[in-house]
Amino acid sequence: MKYVATVEGREYEIELTDAGVLVDGVLHDVDLQAIDGGFHYSLLVGPCSHELFVERCEDVCLVGLRGRRYHVKVEDERERRSGVRSPAVRDAAGRAEVVSPMPGMVVAVLVEEGQQVITGQGLVIVEAMKMENEIRTPVNGVVESVAVAAGQGVAQNDLLVRVGPG
Amino acid sequence: MKYVATVEGREYEIELTDAGVLVDGVLHDVDLQAIDGGFHYSLLVGPCSHELFVERCEDVCLVGLRGRRYHVKVEDERERRSGVRSPAVRDAAGRAEVVSPMPGMVVAVLVEEGQQVITGQGLVIVEAMKMENEIRTPVNGVVESVAVAAGQGVAQNDLLVRVGPG
Amino acid sequence: MFKKVLIANRGEIAVRVVRACREMGIATAAVYSEADRRALHVRYADEAYAIGPALARESYLRIDRLIEAARDSGADALHPGYGFLSENPALARACKEAGIVFIGPPASAIAAMGDKVTARQLMEEAGVPLVPGTGAGLSDEELAARGREIGFPLFVKAAAGGGGKGMRVVDDPVELERALAAARREAEKAFGDDRVYLEKALAGARHVEIQVLADAHGNTIHLGERECSIQRRHQKLVEEAPSPVVDEALRARMGDVAVRAARAVGYVNAGTIEFLLDGDQNFYFLEMNTRLQVEHPVTEMVTGVDMVKEQIRVAAGERLSVSQDDVRPRGWAIECRITAEDPYNGFLPASGRVIRLAQPGGYGVRVDGGLFEGMEVSLYYDPLLAKLIAWGHTRDEAIGRLRGALREFRIVGLPTSIPFHRWLVEQPAFLDGEFDTTFLPPDFSLPPGEQEEPLRLAAIVATLLSHEARQRFQPRTPCDDGDEASTWRPQGWKLAGRWQRLAQ
Amino acid sequence: MFKKVLIANRGEIAVRVVRACREMGIATAAVYSEADRRALHVRYADEAYAIGPALARESYLRIDRLIEAARDSGADALHPGYGFLSENPALARACKEAGIVFIGPPASAIAAMGDKVTARQLMEEAGVPLVPGTGAGLSDEELAARGREIGFPLFVKAAAGGGGKGMRVVDDPVELERALAAARREAEKAFGDDRVYLEKALAGARHVEIQVLADAHGNTIHLGERECSIQRRHQKLVEEAPSPVVDEALRARMGDVAVRAARAVGYVNAGTIEFLLDGDQNFYFLEMNTRLQVEHPVTEMVTGVDMVKEQIRVAAGERLSVSQDDVRPRGWAIECRITAEDPYNGFLPASGRVIRLAQPGGYGVRVDGGLFEGMEVSLYYDPLLAKLIAWGHTRDEAIGRLRGALREFRIVGLPTSIPFHRWLVEQPAFLDGEFDTTFLPPDFSLPPGEQEEPLRLAAIVATLLSHEARQRFQPRTPCDDGDEASTWRPQGWKLAGRWQRLAQ
């Protein structure tokens, strides 16, 4: 069976054969064992020993290795040809959608609709873990809309402010 | 709902009510929380904090508490009246069935059928964990049958020797 | 000695205090918010009392509920831990009124050191060297003017602050204006006191602090220094004892000054004098923390002194169990603060469920944690999950142990700071002990790794598991799905054997 | 220094050696039997090599496969751990022939000390005091005659033995006859050598051993004693350093004799001289273990010396990193051997799957283990799961820490020796340090607890969970069973609230 695995922008062509795992045509001698029934794995590649954690493995697998977490998308040939699984890319087209980089609470909104803003100017202050974080605009422009108010809780990636071309 | 819980020969009448748990008529203020989805529990009885592990909870629950493991049989009133769940008790009736107290390998059989044995006399030597263990007869009598031979593996509670009245 | 101690805190420090009490034969009463019913400190304590909802100000910051829980439990003493109300003199006073011993310094010492401006005055009188700065209670305009005199860069600090909260560094007058407003707001919120002051930011200085212990019989000693310069936005990430740049003579000088500072406020119990240390072995008083520090374990590891037990002894009126002469440090200890923050993403706070946990072990490795499998890490509280401390005969050995322990430490289910620590212990400047408080820039984020191998391994494993899942999710009959799902276990993949070659 | 070390062992000691190598920057190659593919030492090592089926004699005892794995891996040294082939001079010789450094003493020293009878002769010549006894190579009849002369009780010991294997205590001539046969059988099986000898069993003696370290440059030092009298059937269960009955003068005397004993066999690397110590501070040579001991951590904790690293340094031709003067013990350390044995049932070996694991932590607590969640504990190997070591400034503090750590240590899924250790740390004789090797009778089984409360608590919990299960297993519709089963989580039972009362 042939698959394409994509991790951090890099694509690997992986073929499972009786002789071993072919990765981009190179044979790997692989021994993967589950330690505790589903999260924790021991991987031997040749004699080299690796410990891995797999937090989930649905559309995308979240694999933990050497302290890092890798998102791996695996597609078989058919899926890849039809593009079934490729995720939609959000496109802001000229606008900047400033989202909260963390879950927290909005302490203050520093701008209002229609206001001119310059790159680096603070838009909203979000408190998380008892620290205040000023969320700034990455572009020059005009505030098109403010999606939050002081005192409001926000999740990670919640829209805070939409900045349009000036 | 009323239950009878039996643990190490002691019976508790336990009634679950809205006000709390009645144990032999005494009200207990109980707060039981699963820690990790099924094995590990935190129990508060009043303010007193206890950690427990429940290895399984079918006919009999195996509850770990303060380093010990307790087998608890729980019956509701109907089961108790009908005796549905009471386990069959093995009865040796005059005979002693000497079983292996551990899994291991039979190194030597020290007796043969028909042989007179006296209390404390060695019957079989079972090796486990690299140590030899002499298994002795708890009664005086005659060896009725020997169920094992040297070199044979035995599981815990496997019959080794049956000793009949002399 | 006390019969029962109420622990007015949560997380790893509450567990730490439970352990000390247990070892001394003292019963423990934990408190918990609704978010913490299943927390480790609740389960390790002998008793536990609910004190309110998850929000700290409705639970861990409620003096009335803490005192009520202490009364309900019959506790004769209360340990505040660090953070929360530990440096609020009102808690110490409320304990006194309720006839409960507060395991910490007198309220007067907390108040004196808690107001950073008063503290500066007292220290100046006691002959303790200070960083150039202003008083508090000045208006924004006055501060702006004084700031220009002192010169930039400057720190804006909360008069009632501590631990980096309400603290900002500014490089020019424009920035100062904005920072004052933010610092006041944060200070008001955190401490109910919006007074701020300025302090010169010393370039290239290290953060080195001295641990002091004092009893009510007039004994005040120090346990040497801790090096805490590995910080990000004034939050300590890694601490060690001793400091790579403090020699015996400097240690004695700093220790003497620290003891003098503690005596100046009538200090009793454990406390820490924070100094800035410049490249010429000059040091300047920053502030005194009138409580146990997060990083106390590194001092414990090198001195052998159990600081929480000393706190309890001292609070019970006993003498310190060690004299200054008994303090003979051995080896080196380094602590990593393992937090629920994503170092690859600007140390953003993370939440999630700990689905798997493997803690490191072996010689010289200590874990002080509140971690357990099944733990829900929320954003309500401090992101500290655990402290990993490694001891070695030498700094190199300690770092070697740390490196190994960081490899063994597995917290699965959410991002943690572990990758940062793994990175740090490979940095030449850290290995050489050559760093100051600017080692990490404020916006530091861990660079992604450049190795190809882990990507490939992750790809292989994901592919094998995906393949297996695809095979599995082609049900043979429509009805046998349920049971199989509950009993299914991933099988071993062994696509080419090695043992077979050997066995022949 | 070595580039890569092959670890010819499994379990906690293999993990211990991985850690030491890793800290020294040396790569590690593990070996594993078919039963150990998922073991911790395999996962923590850099490389792993399959060496055969589960049975030790087909894998961990196969010198040929170990040497082959060492060659395949390119290892330049081999660490034997303890047990298995660690005291078999053939492994040391095979390493030498293969050009691989054996991290242990010279084969000649292993052979000399391995034959307990030869060892007795050598020690006698070196002026080391011996327990009265016989030579080996005697017939049963000769031994019976000599036994009557020496007087009962007597030990029957295997000439090639060690660690209690093949050892029997006998009280009279009739028992002696039976014991000789069993001991010969066990010795033949364990060591391929059925020679046995007799040694007088000293009443009321303690088992006290001295750790020695020697390098190839003529430096031989000792690291003080370990007290190992808490034994059951000659299997050590708990060890500590120092011994409660050894003072500075006795330590110096025993240390001198131990160093002399080591020198007498040209010893290089780590070794242990076991002594019996009577109530009058007389001590007698028992045997020398020419390898790392299970209980080496207690010595590490009090001396600060990493013994595995010293072993590696010495094997690489370096000098010991410490001199006799550098050895200044601090505090007290106690080790509990946490085994898969049921102390309530005559310490019967247990097997099973570790379904949940919570390891203790905090100050002064060390765990050396091979444990992990999901581990299948089999009967193929030694029942040792982990070693729990607690350090304290005093013996009392160490015991306090141990007591707390034993409460925190949770191994769910099979019986372990933890209840025994919890019991031990409450026994007045143990707390007073008043015990000898007869403290535990040979057939000791832990008495069941007498408290009613745990029974009641277990009954309550079992009833709540049974109740919940009964409710759950009344399916509402015949078809929605499957999914529910996989997502179901036991709910919290809170039949009477406390927080509500506070909140009003």
At C163, the pLDDT band (50, 70, 90 cuts) reads low
At A91, the pLDDT band (50, 70, 90 cuts) reads very low
Kindly determine whether residue D356 and residue C368, on different chains, have CB atoms separated by under 8 Å. Answer: no
In angstroms, the first-to-last Cα distance of chain C is 69
CA D381 from centre of chain: 13
Nearest chain A residue to D44 by CA distance is: A49
Task: Write out chain D residues lying below 8 Å of A51, CB-based.
Answer: 43
Q: Do chains B and C touch (3 or more CB pairs under 8 A)?
A: yes
| DSSP string over chain B | -EEEEEETTEEEEEEEETTEEEETTEEE-EEEEESSSSSEEEEEETTEEEEEEEEEESSEEEEEETTEEEEEEEEEHHHHHHTTTPPPPP--TT-EEEE-SSSEEEEEE---TT-EE-TT-EEEEEEETTEEEEEE-SS-EEEEEE---TT-EE-TT-EEEEEE--
Q: How far apart are CA D207 and CA D278, in angstroms?
A: 9
At D487, the pLDDT band (50, 70, 90 cuts) reads very low
* Residue D110, SS3 per DSSP: helix
Task: Write out chain D residues lying below 8 Å of B103, CB-based.
Answer: 349, 351, 379
Residue D485, H or E segment? helix D481-487
Task: Inform me whether the pLDDT recorded for D382 exceeds 60.
Answer: yes
Q: What is the pLDDT of residue C53?
A: 95
Q: Do chains D and C touch (3 or more CB pairs under 8 A)?
A: yes
- D491 compared with D21, residue with greater pLDDT: D21
Question: Percentage of residues in chain C with pLDDT exceeding 90?
Answer: 78
pLDDT per position as a tens digit, D87-137: 999 999 999 999 999 999 999 999 999 888 889 999 999 999 999 898 888
Determine whether B144 is exposed, middle or buried from the number of CB atoms within 10 Å of its CB (0-12, 13-18, 19+).
Answer: middle
Task: Write out chain B residues lying below 8 Å of D166, CB-based.
Answer: none
Kindly determine whether residue B33 and residue C72, on different chains, have CB atoms separated by under 8 Å. Answer: no
Cα–Cα–Cα angle for D201, D207, D209, rounded to 5 degrees = 130
Nearest chain C residue to D387 by CA distance is: C362
Task: Inform me whether the pLDDT recorded for D497 exceeds 60.
Answer: no
Q: What is the pLDDT of residue C502?
A: 33
Q: Do chains B and A touch (3 or more CB pairs under 8 A)?
A: no
Chains within contact range of chain A (3+ C-beta pairs < 8 Å): C, D
Shortest CA gap D325–chain B (Å): 41
Q: What is the pLDDT of residue C500?
A: 33
Determine whether C137 is exposed, middle or buried from the number of CB atoms within 10 Å of its CB (0-12, 13-18, 19+).
Answer: exposed
Task: Write out chain B residues lying below 8 Å of C45, CB-based.
Answer: 49
* Residue C419, SS3 per DSSP: helix
> Residue C106, CB half-sphere, CA atoms under 13 Å: how many?
14
Query: Which tokens hold the place of C78?
Result: 């209360």
The answer to whether the Cα torsion of C160, C336, C392, D329 is positive or negative is positive
pLDDT per position as a tens digit, C348-379: 999 999 999 999 999 999 999 999 999 999 99
Task: Write out chain A residues lying below 8 Å of D47, CB-based.
Answer: 47-49
- C190 compared with C65, residue with greater pLDDT: C65
ipTM: 0.83
D501 touches chain B (CB under 8 A): no
Task: Write out chain D residues lying below 8 Å of B40, CB-based.
Answer: 356, 358, 410, 412
Q: What is the mean pLDDT of residues C206-225?
A: 98
Task: Inform me whether the pLDDT recorded for A93 exceeds 70.
Answer: no
Please check whether residue C183 is in contact with residue C143, taking contact to mean a CB–CB distance below 8 angstroms.
no
At position B112, the amino acid (one-letter code) is E
Q: Identify the weakest region by mean pLDDT among A119-133, B96-110, D247-261, D420-434.
A: A119-133
Q: What is the pLDDT of residue D493?
A: 55
Cα–Cα–Cα angle for C495, C500, C501, rounded to 5 degrees = 105
Active-site residue identified among C65, C206, C291, C313: C291
Q: What is the pLDDT of residue A166?
A: 67
Shortest CB distance from B37 goes to which of C49, C372, C374? C374
- Backbone conformation region of residue D482, classed left if phi is above 0, alpha if psi is from -120 to 50, else beta: alpha
Task: Say how many residues make up chain A.
Answer: 166
Active-site residue identified among D195, D206, D226, D291: D291
Nearest chain D residue to A36 by CA distance is: D374
Arithmetic mean of pLDDT over chain D: 91
Shortest CB distance from C454 goes to which of A66, A122, A125? A66
Q: Dihedral (C-alpha) D316, D322, D323, D325: value to the nearest 10 degrees?
A: -170
Q: How far apart are CA D63 and CA A69, in angstroms?
A: 40
Q: What is the pLDDT of residue C482?
A: 38
Radius of gyration over every alpha carbon of chain A, rounded to an integer in angstroms: 22
- Backbone conformation region of residue C217, classed left if phi is above 0, alpha if psi is from -120 to 50, else beta: alpha
Q: How far apart are CA D210 and CA D227, in angstroms?
A: 9
At D483, the pLDDT band (50, 70, 90 cuts) reads very low
Q: Do chains A and C touch (3 or more CB pairs under 8 A)?
A: yes
Q: What is the pLDDT of residue A82?
A: 63
Interface test with D, best of C18, C19, C41 (most D CBs within 10 A): C19
Shortest CB distance from A49 goes to which of D42, D72, D372? D42
Q: How far apart are CA C237 and CA C228, in angstroms?
A: 8
CA C304 from centre of chain: 20
At position D403, the amino acid (one-letter code) is R
Q: Dihedral (C-alpha) A85, A91, A96, A99: value to the nearest 10 degrees?
A: -20
| Parallel/antiparallel/unpaired status of strands C283-289 and C269-277 | antiparallel
Q: What is the pLDDT of residue D398?
A: 98
Shortest CB distance from B42 goes to which of C29, C42, C373? C42
Q: What is the mean pLDDT of residues C21-25?
A: 97
* Beta bridge partners of residue A13, listed in sequence order: A4
- C344 compared with D495, residue with greater pLDDT: C344
Q: What is the mean pLDDT of residues A89-109?
A: 69
Task: Inform me whether the pLDDT recorded for B70 exceeds 60.
Answer: yes
D178 is catalytic: no
Please check whether residue C357 is in contact with residue C372, taking contact to mean a CB–CB distance below 8 angstroms.
yes
- B63 compared with A129, residue with greater pLDDT: B63
Nearest chain D residue to B22 by CA distance is: D460
pLDDT per position as a tens digit, A14-28: 999 888 899 999 999
pLDDT per position as a tens digit, D350-372: 999 999 999 999 999 999 999 99
User: Where do the DSSP E strands lie in C153-305?
Assistant: 154-158, 168-170, 196-200, 206-214, 220-232, 235-241, 269-277, 283-289
Kindly determine whether residue D38 and residue A35, on different chains, have CB atoms separated by under 8 Å. Answer: yes
Kindly determine whether residue B21 and residue D495, on different chains, have CB atoms separated by under 8 Å. Answer: yes
Across D189-217, b (16+ Cβ under 10 Å) vs e yields ebbebbbbbbbbbbeebbbbbbbbbbbee
Question: Percentage of residues in chain D with pLDDT exceeding 70?
Answer: 92
> D241, D273, D242: which is closest to D258 by C-alpha?
D273
Task: Inform me whether the pLDDT recorded for C219 exceeds 70.
Answer: yes
Task: Inform me whether the pLDDT recorded for B87 exceeds 50.
Answer: no
Q: How far apart are CA B78 and CA B95, in angstroms?
A: 35
Kindly determine whether residue D23 and residue C397, on different chains, have CB atoms separated by under 8 Å. Answer: yes
Q: What is the pLDDT of residue C498?
A: 35
Q: What is the pLDDT of residue C493?
A: 55
Nearest chain B residue to C45 by CA distance is: B49
At A94, the pLDDT band (50, 70, 90 cuts) reads low
Q: How far apart are CA D357 and CA B117, in angstroms?
A: 46
> A82, A59, A83, A63: which is closest to A71 by C-alpha?
A63
Residue D439: how many other CB atoms lie within 10 Å: 19
Q: What is the pLDDT of residue D450?
A: 81
DSSP state of D162: B
Q: What is the pLDDT of residue C164?
A: 66
DSSP state of D3: S
D23 touches chain C (CB under 8 A): yes
Determine whether D467 is exposed, middle or buried from the number of CB atoms within 10 Å of its CB (0-12, 13-18, 19+).
Answer: middle
CA C346 from centre of chain: 19
